[in-house]
Amino acid sequence: MMAAAGGGDRLTDLPEEILLHILSMLPNSRQVVQMSVLSSEWRFLWKSVQASLYYNSEVYLKPYKKENILDYAASVNRELHYWRFCDKIKSFRVFPNSYEDFIAHDVDLWVHFAFNVGKVEEFTLKFCYFKSLGFAYNFPEYAYTNTVLRNLVLGYCWLRPSGNVKWSNLVSLSIGDAVMTEGVMEKVLSGCPNLECLELDKVVACKCAMFHIIQSKDIGSWEPFDPGD
């Protein structure tokens, strides 16, 4: 570090708001945490940085093995162990290789972290591959109630709420590669009064009912998928 005139260093002597801005400009969350070793005064500063967490499973895909999927899940879990202390997590995006029974608990943990611990504004859960639409992740019941989330992206997930959906602050929703029973989309849209953007990609549902529901809402943009295309 560069020494300051008073015997300290120029970085540590900067106002906290500037230090936080510097940390927020780092390319990934791991580097933000690593910066805490530069100074004892920085030890807990990373907790106040508005974090964006991104976990791509690409590095664990070659070759496709059970241990690689488990390694990916363990890697995400290790980082979330530290980020649970962060004051503000803006986004959390996780892209597992595929949904398997042996990582069901891990996926539950990620959803719980997003909705109850980190209280993120943006959450993405997309599996890169899948065995069949019938073997998809069952989105948990408690996650259908949230007042913080603004952007939600789901891929290869079952949406089967038993009660009402209450995503009161959601403005953007993307659902891909999913099967919905009749009435589910109506519940989802009824629970999103502020929805502005809806994207449906390879979603199998009651087509006529879905189009009627979508057209009856004031949504800025939406992209339907026609199974006959």
pLDDT digits (tens, 9 = 90+) for 48-79: 667 788 888 765 555 568 888 899 999 999 98
Q: Predicted confidence band at 178 (pLDDT cuts at 50, 70, 90)?
A: confident
CB 92 within 8 A of CB 118: yes
Domain residue limits, the chain: 13-49, 51-119, 130-229
Comparing 48-62, 70-84, 119-133, 193-207, the range with the smallest average pLDDT is 48-62
Q: Please compute the mean of the pLDDT values over residues 21-45 and round it to a whole number.
A: 65
pLDDT of res. 92: 95
Out of 3-12, 84-93, 109-118, 175-184, the most confident range is 109-118
Q: What residues have CB less than 8 Å from 17, skipping those under 6 apart? A: none
Integer angstrom CA distances of residue 4 from 7, 17, 40? 6, 19, 17
Model confidence at 46, in pLDDT bands (50, 70, 90)?
low
Residue 7 has pLDDT above 70, yes or no: no
- For residue 149, pLDDT over 80 is answered with yes
Segments of 3-58 assigned E as strands: 51-56
